[in-house]
Amino acid sequence: MADEKINKGHSENYFGDYRDFWWNRAFLDLTAKRLDLERHQSMLDVGSGHGHWTRILAPYLAPGAEITAIDSDEKWYKENPDLQAYFQKSGNLFQLKKGDAQDLPFEDNSFDLVTCQTVLIHVPRPAKAIQEMKRVLKPGGTLLCVEPNNIVQSLIKTSLTKNDPIEETLDHIKYRLIIEKGKKAMGRGDNSLGDLLPGMFAMEGLNNIEVRLSDKAIAMYPPYDNEEQLATLKQWMKGSSWKSNTQKDIDFFHAAGEKYMPFYFEYQEKYARSDEHVMGALQREQYHAAGGSLMYLVSGSK
Ligand SMILES: C[S@@+](CC[C@H](N)C(=O)[O-])C[C@H]1O[C@@H](n2cnc3c(N)ncnc32)[C@H](O)[C@@H]1O
- Reported as a single tens digit per residue, the pLDDT across 248-296 is 899 999 999 999 999 999 999 999 888 888 889 999 999 999 999 999 9
Distance from the alpha carbon of residue 278 to the mean position of ligand 1, in angstroms: 29
pLDDT tier, 239 (very low <50, low <70, confident <90, very high otherwise)? low
132 lines ligand 1 (CB under 6 A): no
Half-sphere exposure for 30 (CA within 13 Å, toward CB): 10
Distance from the alpha carbon of residue 285 to the mean position of ligand 1, in angstroms: 35
76 lines ligand 1 (CB under 6 A): yes
- Amino acid, res. 53: W
pLDDT at 11 over 60: no
Distance from the alpha carbon of residue 67 to the mean position of ligand 1, in angstroms: 17
| CA dihedral over 247, 249, 255, 261, signed as positive or negative | negative
* pLDDT (average), residues 125-131: 98
Stronger pLDDT, 282 or 7, i.e. the higher one: 282
Q: Does domain 2-301 have CATH number 3.40.50.150?
A: yes
**Percent share of the chain, pLDDT over 90:** 76
Contact indicator for 259, 253 with CB cutoff of 8 Å: no
Task: 196-200: list long-range contacts, CB under 8 Å, 24+ apart.
Answer: 197/120, 197/145, 197/147, 197/296, 197/298, 198/298, 200/126, 200/127, 200/130
pLDDT in tens, 200-209: 999 999 999 9
Q: Mean pLDDT: which of 99-103, 153-157, 237-241 is highest? A: 99-103
pLDDT tier, 127 (very low <50, low <70, confident <90, very high otherwise)? very high
* pLDDT (average), residues 79-98: 90
Stronger pLDDT, 300 or 78, i.e. the higher one: 300
Q: What is the distance between the alpha carbons of residues 302 and 142, in angstroms, rounded to a whole number? A: 7
6 lines ligand 1 (CB under 6 A): no
* pLDDT (average), residues 73-97: 90
Q: Residue 54 — φ and ψ, nearest 5°?
A: -55, -45
pLDDT, residue 1, reads 44
- Amino acid, res. 104: L
pLDDT in tens, 23-57: 999 999 999 999 999 999 999 999 999 999 999 99
* pLDDT (average), residues 164-184: 96
pLDDT in tens, 134-166: 999 999 999 999 999 999 988 999 999 999 999
Of the candidates 272, 292, 130, the one whose C-alpha atom is nearest the C-alpha of residue 201 is: 130
pLDDT in tens, 186-202: 999 999 999 999 999 99
- From 55, 72, 100, 214, the mutation candidate for ligand 1 (largest count of ligand atoms within 8 A of CB) is 72
Average pLDDT over the chain reads 91
Q: 289: which DSSP letter?
A: B
Distance from the alpha carbon of residue 70 to the mean position of ligand 1, in angstroms: 9
Query: Where exactly are the structural domains of the chain?
Result: 2-301
118 lines ligand 1 (CB under 6 A): yes
Contact indicator for 51, 80 with CB cutoff of 8 Å: yes
Distance from the alpha carbon of residue 161 to the mean position of ligand 1, in angstroms: 32
Distance from the alpha carbon of residue 111 to the mean position of ligand 1, in angstroms: 19
